[in-house]
């Protein structure tokens, strides 16, 4: 599979310490892979679950600052661990009061061979077991690093949906079981290390083909991201809810457009939440989630 490599400067704009020291509203930082970044089923970046969470918090006047600058398409747990250990990430996280983490799927999915033409899936068990063991170790370290860098933050670990709803039923069981094991690892390690686990698997299942519309891609539609955002709010605050009519109009950016726009100006974030321009840009773009 062709890999993308994008080199973009890190942007870390200063923001008022007074505005983020208060207990409320939230200073929200989204960390993780392309689901945190908002990748579409067509290999573009748009509003994802993190943006919708930020939008709802802003609508209810509970948002002081938001960045998905630590979200990198294609990153494994090892990549994310390295990222949160960086000085740039520590600076961005130090005033955070709310952090979401999407990490783990790429460790596993990069081992899965999917053929959308014939609806087949294949993988090897031993490498999958090794990958899941790496997730088990790395997610603990990620949570610890985040909690150390952001001592005031509540940390939420987002689970995964079954990414291949279009394959033949006979092909689903093995990979489905591996993804369920991944979610079990994330849940166990999150709850054992002071974080909150958010399940999305059951919410996706009844309408998975509609929510993951491209058989050749594992990313959800904006409606899918809405479901993920609302799964978060079910734990965070049940009075908050992103309604279908509150979804922003699609405004996808290709990776080439992101590169061009960031060469032209240092104040245009991928996130379209008005007034929150602090964005730590993509540095490396990879396939998968």
Q: Give per-residue pLDDT as tens, 239-271.
A: 999 999 999 999 888 877 776 665 554 443 334
pLDDT digits (tens, 9 = 90+) for 72-131: 899 999 999 999 999 999 999 999 999 999 999 999 999 999 999 899 999 999 999 999
Per-residue model confidence (pLDDT) at position 289: 60
- Omega within 30 of 0 (cis) for the link into 221: no
- The 8-class DSSP code of residue 249 comes to P
**pLDDT value for 254:** 83
Average pLDDT over residues 133-142: 98
Q: Are strands 253-254 and 44-45 parallel, antiparallel or unpaired?
A: antiparallel
Task: Give CA 31 to chain center in angstroms.
Answer: 6
């Amino acid at each position: 599979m062709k890999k993308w490599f994008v080199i973009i400067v890190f942007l870390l704009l200063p923001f008022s310490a007074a505005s983020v020291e208060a207990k409320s509203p939230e200073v929200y930082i989204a960390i993780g892979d392309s689901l945190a970044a908002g990748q579409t089923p067509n290999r573009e970046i748009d509003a994802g679950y993190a943006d919708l969470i930020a939008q709802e918090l802003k609508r209810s006047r509970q948002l002081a600052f938001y960045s998905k600058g630590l979200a990198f398409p294609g990153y494994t747990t090892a990549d994310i661990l390295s990222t949160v250990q960086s000085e740039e990430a520590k600076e961005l996280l130090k005033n955070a009061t709310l952090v979401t983490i999407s990490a783990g799927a790429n460790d596993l999915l990069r081992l899965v061979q999917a053929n959308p033409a014939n609806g087949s899936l294949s993988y090897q068990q031993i490498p999958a077991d090794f990958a899941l063991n790496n997730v088990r170790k790395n997610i603990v370290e990620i949570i610890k690093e985040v909690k150390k860098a952001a001592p005031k933050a509540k940390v939420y670990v987002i689970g995964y949906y079954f990414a291949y709803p279009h394959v033949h039923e006979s092909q689903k069981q093995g990979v489905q079981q591996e993804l369920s094991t991944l979610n079990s690892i994330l849940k166990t390690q999150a709850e054992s290390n002071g974080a909150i686990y958010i399940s999305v698997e059951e919410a996706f299942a009844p309408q998975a083909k509609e929510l993951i519309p491209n058989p050749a891609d594992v990313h959800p539609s904006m409606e899918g991201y809405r479901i993920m955002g609302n799964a978060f709010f079910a734990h965070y605050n049940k009075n908050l809810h992103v309604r279908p009519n509150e979804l922003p109009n699609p405004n996808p950016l290709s990776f080439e457009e992101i590169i061009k726009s960031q060469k032209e100006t240092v104040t245009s974030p991928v996130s379209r939440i008005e007034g929150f321009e602090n964005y730590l840009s993509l540095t490396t773009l990879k396939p998968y989630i």
